[in-house]
Amino acid sequence: MNSLTEENYLKALFSLADDKGEVGVNELSKRLDIKMPTVNSMMKKLAEKKLVFYESYKPLRLTDKGRREAGLIIRKHRLTEMFLVEKMGFGWEEVHEIAEQVEHIQSAAFFDKMDVLLGYPKVDPHGSPIPDKNGKLVWRQYQKLSQSKAGETLVLAAVLDSTTEFLTYLNSRELRLGLKIKIKAVEPFDGSMTVSYGKHTALVLSSTVTERLLVEPAGT
Amino acid sequence: MNSLTEENYLKALFSLADDKGEVGVNELSKRLDIKMPTVNSMMKKLAEKKLVFYESYKPLRLTDKGRREAGLIIRKHRLTEMFLVEKMGFGWEEVHEIAEQVEHIQSAAFFDKMDVLLGYPKVDPHGSPIPDKNGKLVWRQYQKLSQSKAGETLVLAAVLDSTTEFLTYLNSRELRLGLKIKIKAVEPFDGSMTVSYGKHTALVLSSTVTERLLVEPAGT
DNA sequence: ATATAAAGTTAGCTGGCTCTAACAAATAAA
DNA sequence: TTTATTTGTTAGAGCCAGCTAACTTTATAT
């Protein structure tokens, strides 16, 4: 069994290793807001437990076991977020902090029950995929709204930032998952977009925002 | 803010102090399965934080602040148990261990939401009262089934033992809260009782069992 | 190619929570 | 009332997960 602390390291490693698969100690240190020497010794400990590959001065990589365990924690986190929103009436901007705590609960039955009650959801309230029971996570092929062009019509599929602040901003603009958005214009200077959706006919989104929104072509 | 460890000490102190209000270090040590010197130093720490009254060689007592904080943790525990049973479909024998973990979650909104969804319940699935938002707990005037006499008809109001083993035993006999039970006979030798309820016309309960069942007169 | 900067490591310390061993006080028994 | 037992306390140690300071290695810039 891994400690709560170890679980947090695994989760951070998993999310940082998303693309390249490799993570630097420094990078991990910043993500967790824990000093490098502390991270360093924890990596040795996790290497002992066969959860990470560790060699001096080389980047960190999760082992299959480590990736699986991290995935299972993320599964618990995302099932919890879904449960909080769908079954308890929380807003998508309120659930991250609570799930951060609930994800450490040791009870397979508890999360299995959530899964059943939710009807085996594939994504969480922010559009992120929920890993399966083996901790395996697969993202659908989304692209950032910022990479789309004027004239395209897209469906908002996920957000890359689950902070209360960002989601509250989206709420204030009535932006939510599943929404069909048409790009009316892209400002070449700063990348800001004028879009229309629902009752909104000409709303401007800064690149800071469009960078954090994942979309897919309408009608998929 | 109190640590998870401190919360467990407070909770144990609260439940041991139920009647007399005073608890010995030794007694607390046994309840928590933590050695006396460890308990001793934790008591000094909690005394620093004004949660317990501590004087050398004298019994421990919770301060008002300590009792309030302990009550609030027990509130979270019991709301959770109720939620698990009523809203998630768990059996009353399955919820203790899960609630033991969930009770430490720091989120007023989470437990407030449970409270609302449950319709502000007064008791948990085992009949124990749920402390109010000030941590105040009041037991109704129940008595043990073992103290009742032949001929009486009683309603099963609460259980004094929430272990999986005991509750599974009760399940196997279809004994559940709210049930109307008639005492047909009491065996003077060992205090065992022959009772009838529901489909059961002559079931024998040992004193080990009747000691753990709280009842009130039928029709209250 | 060398100097500088960034990233990674080692050594040693701290606080929180646990322990054992040894001792002191209070209570119960002889 | 003296002794034995139980209960409570002190001292000292260990593990976990964090830290700072000092050093080494790797990467970057001049």
Distance separating alpha carbons of residues A168 and A176, to the nearest angstrom: 11
Which is nearest to B79 in space by CA: B8, B26, B132, B32? B132
Q: What is the DSSP letter of B37?
A: H
**CA distance readout (Å), A203 to A23, A156, A183:** 38, 15, 10
Per-residue pLDDT tens over the stretch A25-63: 999 999 999 999 999 999 999 999 999 999 999 999 999
CA-CA-CA-CA dihedral for B193, B195, B200, B202, to nearest 10: 60
pLDDT at B182 over 80: yes
Distance, CA of A45 to CA of A34 (rounded, Å): 16
CA distance B156 to A116: 32
Residues B177-203, buried b or exposed e (16+ Cβ, 10 A)? bebebebeebeeeeebbbbebeeeeeb
Residues written for chain A: 220
**pTM of this structure:** 0.94
User: For tokens 């000030």, what's the residue?
Assistant: B134
pLDDT, average across residues B101-107: 98
**A16 CA vs D23 C1’ separation (Å):** 28
Range A85-99 average pLDDT: 98
Beta carbon of B40 within 7 Å of strand D?
yes
**A169 vs A177: CA distance, rounded Å:** 14
d(CA B68, CA B137): 9
Beta carbons of A198 and A156 less than 8 angstroms apart: no
Give the angle B172-B178-B184 at the CA atoms, nearest 5°. Answer: 70
pLDDT score of B64:
96
Q: How far apart are the first and last CA of chain A?
A: 41
| DSSP code, position A60 | B
Of the pLDDT bands very low, low, confident and very high (cuts 50, 70, 90), residue B218 is confident
Evaluate whether A14 touches A46 at the Cβ level (below 8 Å). no
Residues around strand C, C-beta < 7 Å:
A 24-27, 29, 36-37, 40-41, 43, 54-59; B 3-6, 33-35, 37-38, 41-42, 45, 57
Is the Cβ atom of A3 within 7 Å of strand D at any atom? yes
Of B211, B188, B215, B192, which Cα lies nearest the Cα of B202? B192
Mean pLDDT within B177-195: 96
**What is the model's pLDDT at position B199?**
94
Q: If you average pLDDT over residues B199-216, what whole number do you get? A: 96
Q: Which of A13-27, B105-119, B189-203 has the lowest mean pLDDT?
A: A13-27
pLDDT classification of B18: cutoffs 50, 70, 90: confident
Buried b (16+ CB within 10 A) or exposed e, B17-38: beeeeebebebbbebbebeeee
pLDDT tier, A18 (very low <50, low <70, confident <90, very high otherwise):
confident
CA angle A58/A138/A34 to nearest 5° reads 40
Kindly state the percentage of chain B with pLDDT values over 70.
100
Residue B23 DSSP label: B
CB interface of A with B, residues 70-89, below 8 Å: 84, 87-89
Rounded mean pLDDT, B96-121: 98
Per residue in A116-129, pLDDT tens?
999 999 999 999 99
Mean pLDDT, to the nearest integer, of B43-53? 97
Interface check A219 vs B, CB under 8 A:
no
Chain B residue with Cα closest to A108: B98
Q: Does B108 touch chain A (CB under 8 A)?
A: no
Residue B3 at interface with chain A, using a CB cutoff of 8 Å: no
Distance between CA B41 and CA B61 in Å, rounded? 15
Give B1's pLDDT tier (boundaries 50, 70, 90): confident
Output the six-digit token pair for B96: 């203790």
pLDDT tens readout for residues A140-165:
999 999 999 999 999 999 999 999 99
Give the distance, in angstroms, between residue A42 CA and nucleotide D21 C1'. Answer: 20
Banded pLDDT at B20 (limits 50, 70, 90)? confident
Query: Which residues in A lie closer than 8 A to residue B94 (C-beta atoms)?
Result: 109
Q: Is the CB of A99 under 7 A from strand D?
A: no
Angle between helices A36-48 and A25-32 (to 10 degrees): 110
